[in-house]
Amino acid sequence: MNTPAPGTLLIADPFLKDPNFKRSVVFICEHQAEGSFGFVLNRTYEHSLNELIAGIEDLEIPVFCGGPVQMDTIHFLHQYPTQIPGSYKVSDDIYFGGNFETAISLIRAGEIDLGRIRFYIGYSGWSSGQLDDELKEKSWITVNATRKLLFHRDTNQLWKEALRHLGGDYEMLVNFPLDPNPRLN
Q: Which helix (H) or strand (E) holds 161?
A: helix 158-166
User: For the chain, what are the domain ranges?
Assistant: 8-173
Nearest CA among 60, 65, 89, 61 for reference residue 77? 89
The proportion of the chain whose per-residue pLDDT surpasses 90, expressed as a percent, equals 75
Nearest CA among 39, 9, 26, 4 for reference residue 135? 4
- CATH architecture, domain defined by 8-173: 3-Layer(aba) Sandwich (3.40)
Q: Cα 49 vs. chain centroid, distance in angstroms?
A: 17
Q: Are 100 and 74 in contact (CB under 8 A)?
A: yes
Query: pLDDT-based confidence at 176, cuts 50/70/90?
Result: low
Q: Are 63 and 120 in contact (CB under 8 A)?
A: yes
d(CA 40, CA 26) in angstroms, rounded, equals 4
Q: Cα 129 vs. chain centroid, distance in angstroms?
A: 20
User: What is the bridge-based pairing of β-strands 63-65 and 117-127?
Assistant: parallel
d(CA 108, CA 111) in angstroms, rounded, equals 8
> Higher model confidence: residue 96 or residue 169?
96
Residues 73-97 have pLDDT tens digits of 999 999 999 999 999 999 989 999 9
**pLDDT(182) > 60:** no
**pLDDT(99) > 70:** yes
Between the CA atoms of 118, 124, 128 and 132, what dihedral angle is there, to the nearest 10 degrees? -90
Range of lowest pLDDT (101-110, 126-135, 136-145, 173-182): 173-182
| Residue 166 confidence (pLDDT) | 85
Residue 44 per-residue DSSP state: B
Query: pLDDT-based confidence at 2, cuts 50/70/90?
Result: low
Q: Are 56 and 49 in contact (CB under 8 A)?
A: yes
Mean pLDDT, all residues of the chain:
90
> Higher model confidence: residue 120 or residue 144?
120
**pLDDT(185) > 90:** no
Model-level pTM?
A: 0.90
